[in-house]
Amino acid sequence: MAKESLKIPQKIPTHLAIIMDGNGRWALEKGLPRLAGHQAGTENLREVIEACGEFGIQYLTIYAFSTENWNRPPEEIQGLMKIFRMMLNRELNNLHEDGVQLRHIGRLDKIDQELRDKVKEAIQLTKDNKTLILNIAFNYGGRDEILHAVKQLMEDGHKAEDLDEDLFAKYLYTAGSPDPDLIIRTSGEYRCSNFLIWQGAYSEWYFTSTYWPDFGREELHQALTVYDQRERRYGEIQNIKDV
């Protein structure tokens, strides 16, 4: 079936970030195990990646697994790792052919060796692609990222007087990516959940009650339409009426 033609908003975020929330609740409401929701959320990701390319988004960061998610039941963690491994095995070549460059943000140290090797393989294979930069936040936490950056700065011998925002940003996991213009959170929750704490300081936020497995091309278009109507001020006064 042909896709419905959608008018692309005039103002498109260069960098979109998404907290993909609601997989478990989606599954439970359908009488399915939670892992079925995570699987459905993975299947849905392909449509969103394609839509980002269609709408002209250059960077996409997805929150796949947080440093706090290790506190979930062991069987769910094992299932998530299996799903992520299967997704990489199945989609890597397709993403590469579509010009998607895969990057990992977060830590690899707690991930099993097989998956760690697969992530490194995906990064190496796609490193020269330019169509879309896909940052996968896996075993990622914003506080952990900031602490890691501070430790690295100290280990590299930087002094307090050397430090500014530009230097600090070079030590973040997202070095090389612009700060997100828009952050979307699905499932109706209203919190940042330790995601891109530094980078999201001036991001626009869009919240939707739609669970992630149901968030597709049309939902993304709606979020971009709302973003197009926003006025980003960065603390400044844009119009005299705002005084």
Q: Residue 193 and residue 212: Cα distance in Å, rounded?
A: 16
Tokens in use for 6? 């959608």
Q: Is 69 part of the annotated catalytic residue set?
A: yes
- Classified as helix, coil or strand, 241 is helix
Q: Residue 44 and residue 186: Cα distance in Å, rounded?
A: 13
Q: Residue 84 and residue 82: Cα distance in Å, rounded?
A: 5
- Classified as helix, coil or strand, 206 is strand
Length of the chain: 243
Tokens in use for 199? 């980078």
Contact 211, 25 (CB under 8 A): yes
Q: Residue 59 and residue 100: Cα distance in Å, rounded?
A: 10
Give backbone dihedrals phi and psi of 176, rounded to 5 degrees, phi first: 100, -10
- Among 23, 44, 69, 239, the active-site one is 69
Q: Is 71 part of the annotated catalytic residue set?
A: no
Tell me which residues are annotated as active site: 21, 69
